[in-house]
A = this chain, B = another copy of it.
Amino acid sequence: MLKKDRAGVTFPEGFLAAGIHSGIKKKGALDLGLLVSEKEALIVGMFTVNKMKAPPVQISQRRARRGVAIGIIVNSGNANACTGDQGVADALLLTEKVGHYMGCSAQKILPASTGVIGKPLPMFSILKALPALSEKLSAKGNADFSKAIMTTDTYPKSTQKEVLIGGEVVKIGGSAKGVGMIHPNMATMLVFMTTDAAIEKDALRMSLHQVVEDQFHTLSVDGDTSTNDSVYLLANQLAKNPVITKGSEYHREFTQALMEVASELRRLLLKDAEGATKFLHLVIQGARSKGDAKKVASTIAKSLLVKTAFYGEDVNWGRIMAAIGNAGVPVRVEKVSVALGDVALVDHGVGLGESQEEKAMEILKKSDITVTVHLGMGQMTAEYWTTDLSYEYVRINAGYKGRS
């Protein structure tokens, strides 16, 4: 089935991918992935704001700024972070060798890594695997590529979508790993998206920013950012659509389709969050600004007390109120209302009593729960996705040692 084979990052025309075991992970697990475009593509990226950026992130960020690329070489099992000058030299050499096999300059190959911090890359094994990896490149390579980027992910994550732009088919695909999947030492969220759309660079960049802001920045499992978080978007212009320019109706349509791809990747990331038993959809309403609404959402999402209460299926709206009060934005207790699902618990700062709390206990038994907070301060809203905090999260992140 052509349709099935061409999936994820290789769904759009002209993209090839592969994954291989190079020897970083144990037991033959795939740990080295390559994604390339047959035709030079525009590339835009967004990278971690963590100050401890890993060497491959620094290099990718610089190369993404130049705006054109042939491909991305990515390994799992080793983050190549806190590896000093050696880490920089290793990442540069790796892209040089891949460029050699692809017949392009190293500048057009971007490196990405995820896994343990502070260990040098096993360069000998990786370099030795490159010829075989290059030979495996195929339009059916998404399955292996998606596996090769996994760390503690329990399943590979990819999705694709078609959209008509000016009557022509444009394809978008994506593959992702991570979020709260931090065992054994440190991993990260990596997202690779591809499209064959004909699109201008500025329009592409704006689409990515909007999608990252609305999708990946509204997701929190444990509130930490890491050294390697990266989102890439490649556009190789092979589709026959009229060129998408910034601010046009076509641009709106393209961004909407990209948003749906990202939304599905976010859903897959959230559902695979370490040890999660509850998936919380936070809806903040009545904020003075979008920024205020997001701060309130992210403070609730990061509160250990809120997260453990959901794990315990405890109707503990006081912890939600305390988290709202802790968000660093102006709120007034007498204006705040809170509901779980369709059950109101707090009306203008006052609890609605035990009969409502009993109704809410039914909502808490579900695995998908919507928490609605109305701040009563304005008209702005925000949405956010997070999980509960379970024994299992502690077990996974305690590193399987000693106590667990």
Contact = CB atoms under 8 A, between A and B. Distances in A.
Interface centre among A318, A321, A332 (most CB of B within 10 A): A318
Contacts of A390: 394, 403
Contacts of A404: 312
Nearest to A402: B313
A321 B398 contact: no
Given A52-B325, A83-B350, A350-B84, A401 B318 contact: no
B321 A117 contact: yes
Interface stretch (A64-72, A144-152, A189-197, A219-227): A219-227
Interface string A294-336: 0000000011110011011110111101111111001111101
B394 A311 contact: yes
Contacts of A330: 51
Interface in A63-113: 79, 81-84, 86
A136 interface: no
A226 B306 CA distance: 12
A245 interface: no
Contacts of A394: 308, 311, 389-391, 393-394
A155 interface: no
Nearest to A222: B304
Interface string A35-52: 000000000000000111
Given A117-B321, A304-B222, A397-B309, A84 B51 contact: no
Contact of A186 (B186, B318, B334, B348): B318
Contacts of A400: 312
A16 interface: no
B308 A397 contact: yes
Nearest to A395: B391
B322 A225 contact: yes
A398 B314 contact: yes
The CB with the most chain B CB atoms within 10 A, among A82, A185, A305, A404, is that of A82
Interface residues of A, number: 70
Nearest to A388: B398
A401 B84 contact: no
A292 to B, nearest CB: 12
A53 interface: yes
A351 B312 contact: no
Contacts of A325: 50-53, 225, 227
Contact of A82 (B83, B222, B350, B391): B350
B314 A399 contact: yes
A97 B81 CA distance: 64
A220 to B, nearest CB: 11
A179 interface: no
Contacts of A309: 397-399
A186 to B, nearest CB: 4
A346 B82 contact: yes
A79 B318 contact: yes
B401 A51 contact: no
A335 to B, nearest CB: 11
Interface string A363-404: 000000000000000000000000001110111011111111
Given A84-B348, A305-B397, 12 more contacts: A81-B318, A82-B346, A82-B350, A185-B318, A224-B323, A304-B304, A309-B398, A312-B400, A312-B404, A389-B394, A391-B391, A391-B394
Closest 9 CB pairs of A and B: A117-B318, A312-B398, A52-B325, A314-B399, A118-B351, A308-B397, A51-B325, A50-B325, A84-B350
26 contacts: A50-B322, A51-B324, A51-B325, A51-B327, A51-B331, A52-B321, A52-B324, A52-B333, A52-B336, A53-B325, A83-B351, A117-B321, A118-B350, A185-B316, A186-B305, A186-B316, A223-B304, A224-B304, A225-B325, A227-B322, A311-B394, A312-B399, A312-B402, A314-B399, A316-B399, A391-B391
